[in-house]
Structure 1
Amino acid sequence: MHRYTVLAVLILIVGLGKAQTLKEKGIFSRADTLRGMLSPLRTCYDVNYYHLDIEINPDKRRLSGSTLFRFKAKEDFTKLQFDLFRNLEVDKVVYKGKILPFTREANAVFLSFPQSIKKDSISQFTVFYSGSPTIAKNAPWDGGFVYSEDRSGKPWIAVACQGFGASSWWPNKDHQSDEPDSMLISVTVPSGLMNVSNGRLRSVKTIKEGSRQYNWFVSSPINNYNVTLNIGDYVKFSDHYQGEKGKLDLDYYVLRANLEKAKKHFPGDVKAMLKSFEHWFGPYPFYKDGYKLVETPYLGMEHQSAIAYGNNYMKGYKGSDLSGTGLGLSWDYLIIHESGHEWFGNNITSKDIADMWIHESFTTYSEGLFVESLKGKAAGASYIKGLRKNIGNKTPVIGYYDVNHQGSGDMYAKGANMLHTIRNIIDDDSKWRKILRGLNKTFGLKTTTTEEIVNYINKNSGMDLTSAFDQYLRYPEIPVLEIRKSGDNTIEYRWKTDIPHFKMPVRVKLSDSTKWKTLRATSDWQRIKSSAIKPDTDNFYIKINYLPQDAT
């Protein structure tokens, strides 16, 4: 077994403990480790800038071009790893005008330099490549290119690669931990079509007869899976929003036939979303790059400053309400959810894909905050509770580290209910808002970990919530509050969880009161004078187990 693979398994054992079995760890391959682990061949360099420069041939469904890597050496080295799926050909790699030797294994490419790259030096190389990228079967849930046509028969092309891998279509260091400070995206397409990518459009150039190059510049750090292209017969309309940091440009790129429909559908939800999320999370993170919605032939994706939109101009999620409450039918789910990722996912990014709950839990929770902004706190809480019907509680929310593994899909609804529970434990909405805004200020434009997020919330709430986060995130089951009678007017209670010495406050009503009372429940039995207690299961995502009197 390769030493990186051995290290990956050891980290998995330490990091996840008894939550997942050794047998389950055996499902990972050498390719998973190459993709998921930060080996010395990846940590030796820090990418500061990419220039992706490609031409798309819609008829042949092929692309060709290059990626320039500009990087800072973190140590002396003569060899590094970058990533590109094996079905794409590396034509050559050029460094200082010379072609460098390389080898390939799985989807990793190992590049050798003629002399040592010295620590702290700035260098660059360019990878020239070509081929036919993977075609997605069901984007965005599987990754790859999407080839479609508009009503007039013109090509309509997009890409979605979260989880699947940005290296499925362009060479890069395909790991969430390394975001370039800026990026230039140049895409050449046939005349009569437009390409829309992240950031600001710098120029449109005629490269050769019958084609045009669109050059988009991203001035903020961007994660590799957020890099995008959208090719079609687009038309643009614009607006602006006066936000916390001044004037924010709002640009909408839609198919020509849908222009009037989009003008009516987009602005209301977009501006309501910005008002709500800037209140709760702080300023929109990418004022320099603007905000865009881009119509796509698939449902949607949180591509930074170029949100992919494919909800067919319907309210709700494809016309339905994921919460089952009806509260989600007055707004377009794709606009609200995918835009919420601009704060959680694009601004704050997990270092390892195993911690994707940081993206999805907070963003799903943001849906409830949006409902709260529109219809009040009780409505927002009702929406979040309604999402519980989508929770499986079969596997942990946190995945395996260092092997490119996402955890359970429960990171959406379960994660949102966990955060709503945490809010109610803290029981101070002013403090909770400061925490949400503080997270974006502290970890914005950076990559982070579960531990850093939990420690921040602990510190700024003044409470130790670690055991609560651990139970919800690292184990399938949610906390169970066991309750039993002990005598005529005494109730005993305790938590039953996977976490030793578990502690988490819970709100209850006693039999002789209409007011809520907070119990500092732990894994040890405690007593309270009452003939009955009623836990607040609307705002605390927990199970209740009533035991017979004096049961052990």
Structure 2
Amino acid sequence: MIAIVLALAGGSSPSIAAQTAPAAAQGASQAPRSPRIPSRADFLSGEYGRYRANNDLLSYQLSVRVDPDRKKISGTNKIRFKMLQDDTRIQLNLSADLNVNGIRLGSTPLKYERDLDTVYVDFPKRLLAGTEYSIDFDYSGSPRETGRFGGLAFRKDPKGRQWINTAGDSLLWWPNKDQWRDEVEWMDISVAIPNGLVDVSNGKFVGKTRLPGGYTRWDWHVHYPINNYDVSLNIGSYIHFEDRLGDLPIDFYVLPESIEGARRQFAQARPMIEIFQKYFGEYPFVRDGYKLIEAPYSGMEHQSAVTYGNHFANGYLERDWTGVGISPLFDFIIIHESGHEWFGNAVSAADISDMWIQEGWDTYLEELYVEARWGRDAASRYINGYKPKVRNEEPIVTQRGVHSTPSQDQYFKSALFLHTLRNVIDDDTRWFAMLRAMFQRFKYRNIMTEDMVEFINAQLGRDLTPIFNQYLRRAALPTLELAFNASDGTLAYRWDADERDFAMPIRVTAAGQPLLLEPTTAWKIMPMKASRDAVEVATDVYYINVKKYESR
């Protein structure tokens, strides 16, 4: 239990100003940050405008040929969609580095206009609302490596063999409707690669076919809705071994030299799935199975094809991720990236502004995993270890309609907020019932923060909107102000919060006795003879700041 206590100047009024606490004492900086100015590309990518909103995706059938020696790709994506409004244009995307070789509606070539990574496709006749259409989009070129993981990267494994992978939050190595709101209902992925290599992609393995010219085509079928950025190629000299959990196939693909470490480390996968099923229900992609695939980067949550590069060791890249001695007990990448199967892949944010729905909940799943394995105290220590990573410089939910990735607070602050919310509810039976109901309600859906808040409010019968707003839409933490007046034996208390209607009950300990306070942003007063040092606030249970005042 940690209490943050500040020395104060004299006076008897509860409105006395406190000394400023050093950042180290608060556990996080709250200095404002220079804003990132969005580019035109950010608006093009982020806006769900007329030519995206006028259609509903139904399926993709992606067929791609990969030439490792020339570092080139070519292929076709058959895009099936239903018009929601009459129109003559739709908006798709492909990296500006790649060539559009042609777009066809049946046998009719279509005109198109390129604008950075955007491709506007024009039709000679008006497409009618309620009618389904299918176009073939041919493309080719040499993908440019981008981002932390490379986008689509042509690399070599430690033995000098071809090793080609895709990873990143916004991948345009194949033509698609690049946004989060609208997902296809199903997808086929066919990958032609040189003989002797293996492709592991999303979904269920359908089969492989020998092709002329020394190539083999690997076919996969995705039975469920899937995010564009989850679509994955993993091409290498993979070998395969497997496990099973009831009807769920669990498949592992690693380089031959990694087999011993993989058999040891990947044994964590099945009990991890069992734990998350206990909290949320059945693994959400049973027909596609669960795969864990070795990759040359730390890891990524590709749906039903999670990639792994954590050196076959516990912790994160062989270090104690939260610094409290819990991380070395398990493999962070297996747990975190697989947790995205529930939050990120099954329950998905409809806009990058609400990415905390994916990353914050998934980080909170780490705490639930630790609790299931090593108990609630260990889980609390683990999640509180994230506090030094929080910046509190900007809101977690960012501007809608602009492709702007939220800050890292979406991971750590969001998870600490959910940890706090559980303790505010203070009823684990209701909390865990709500978690399961929420997941089942939003499974295979793309949602906004408002959808989740409305559902949780209804489930719990409480209006928690101001609490969500303070933690997600405001930069600063709420501060509990406690003002002790020894002369009349009273305690004045309130929340200092940006959200005007913020009201959050909180349990404190006064002279060893538990006490429930229900502060708002207005001062309240109560009899309290205990000194400020005798009152403790469990800041390991609630992620808040605390200021104490004492009159002379």
Aligned to 1:520: 518
Contact 1:146 1:297 in 2 (8 A): no
Aligned to 1:506: 506
Matches within 5 A, 1:104-123: 104-123=114-133
SS in structure 2 opposite 1:412? helix
Provide Cα deviations, 1:485-512, integer angstroms capped at 9, x if missing partner: 134421111000111122111111122x
Choose which of 174, 179, 191 in structure 2 pairs with 1:170. 174
- The TM-score with structure 1 as length reference comes to 0.91
CA distance in 2, matches of 1:259, 1:188: 26
Aligned to 2:277: 278
SS in structure 2 opposite 1:500? coil
CA distance in 2, matches of 1:289, 1:131: 30
Contact 2:148 2:168 in 1 (8 A): no
Does residue 259 of structure 2 align to residue 255 of structure 1?
no
Contact 1:146 1:298 in 2 (8 A): no
Matches within 5 A, 1:250-329: 250-267=250-267, 269-329=268-328
CA distance in 2, matches of 1:478, 1:252: 42
Aligned to 1:497: 497
Gaps of at least 5 residues in structure 1 are: 1-18
- The TM-score with structure 2 as length reference comes to 0.91
Q: By how many angstroms is 1:321 displaced?
A: 1.9
SS in structure 1 opposite 2:398? coil
Contact 1:400 1:407 in 2 (8 A): no
Matches within 5 A, 1:28-43: 28-43=38-53
Choose which of 534, 537, 547 in structure 2 pairs with 1:535. 537
Matches within 5 A, 1:291-440: 291-440=290-439
CA distance in 1, matches of 2:406, 2:265: 34
SS in structure 1 opposite 2:358? helix
Does residue 90 of structure 2 align to residue 85 of structure 1?
no
Contact 1:398 1:408 in 2 (8 A): no
SS in structure 2 opposite 1:166? coil
SS in structure 2 opposite 1:402? coil
CA distance in 1, matches of 2:153, 2:303: 19
Choose which of 210, 214, 220 in structure 1 pairs with 2:224. 220
Contact 1:182 1:220 in 2 (8 A): yes
CA distance in 2, matches of 1:407, 1:259: 37
Point out the more displaced range, 252-261 or 100-109.
252-261
Aligned to 2:70: 60
> What letter matches 1:153 in structure 2?
G
Q: By how many angstroms is 1:524 displaced?
A: 0.7
Q: By how many angstroms is 1:24 displaced?
A: 4.3
Aligned to 2:208: 204
Q: By how many angstroms is 1:344 displaced?
A: 0.5
Provide Cα deviations, 1:140-162, integer angstroms capped at 9, x if missing partner: xxx51233222331101101120
CA distance in 1, matches of 2:218, 2:516: 58
Q: By how many angstroms is 1:136 displaced?
A: 3.5
> What letter matches 2:289 in structure 1?
G
Choose which of 94, 97, 106 in structure 1 pairs with 2:104. 94
> What letter matches 1:502 in structure 2?
F
Choose which of 130, 155, 165 in structure 1 pairs with 2:162. 155
Gaps of at least 5 residues in structure 2 are: 1-29
Does residue 56 of structure 2 align to residue 46 of structure 1?
yes
Provide Cα deviations, 1:325-372, integer angstroms capped at 9, x if missing partner: 111111100000001000000001011001000001111111111110
Contact 1:301 1:338 in 2 (8 A): yes
CA distance in 2, matches of 1:20, 1:331: 34
Q: By how many angstroms is 1:75 displaced?
A: 1.1
Contact 2:269 2:334 in 1 (8 A): yes
SS in structure 1 opposite 2:135? strand
CA distance in 2, matches of 1:39, 1:272: 43
Contact 2:147 2:168 in 1 (8 A): no
Provide Cα deviations, 1:212-243, integer angstroms capped at 9, x if missing partner: 1111100000010111000000011111013x
Contact 1:36 1:401 in 2 (8 A): yes
CA distance in 1, matches of 2:368, 2:38: 38
Contact 1:302 1:341 in 2 (8 A): yes
Q: By how many angstroms is 1:407 displaced?
A: 1.4
> What letter matches 1:71 in structure 2?
F
Contact 1:471 1:497 in 2 (8 A): yes
Aligned to 1:186: 190
Contact 2:38 2:404 in 1 (8 A): no
CA distance in 2, matches of 1:546, 1:176: 45
CA distance in 1, matches of 2:217, 2:526: 72
Q: By how many angstroms is 1:61 displaced?
A: 1.1
SS in structure 2 opposite 1:284? coil
SS in structure 1 opposite 2:333? helix
Q: By how many angstroms is 1:322 displaced?
A: 1.8
Contact 2:354 2:448 in 1 (8 A): yes
Matches within 5 A, 1:438-457: 438-457=437-456
Cα pair distance change 1:45/1:297, threshold 3 Å: same
SS in structure 1 opposite 2:261? helix
Contact 1:157 1:297 in 2 (8 A): no
> What letter matches 1:456 in structure 2?
F
Does residue 76 of structure 2 align to residue 70 of structure 1?
no
Q: By how many angstroms is 1:138 displaced?
A: 3.0
> What letter matches 2:378 in structure 1?
A
Q: Percent identity?
A: 39
Does residue 233 of structure 2 align to residue 229 of structure 1?
yes
CA distance in 2, matches of 1:31, 1:263: 44
Q: By how many angstroms is 1:20 displaced?
A: 13
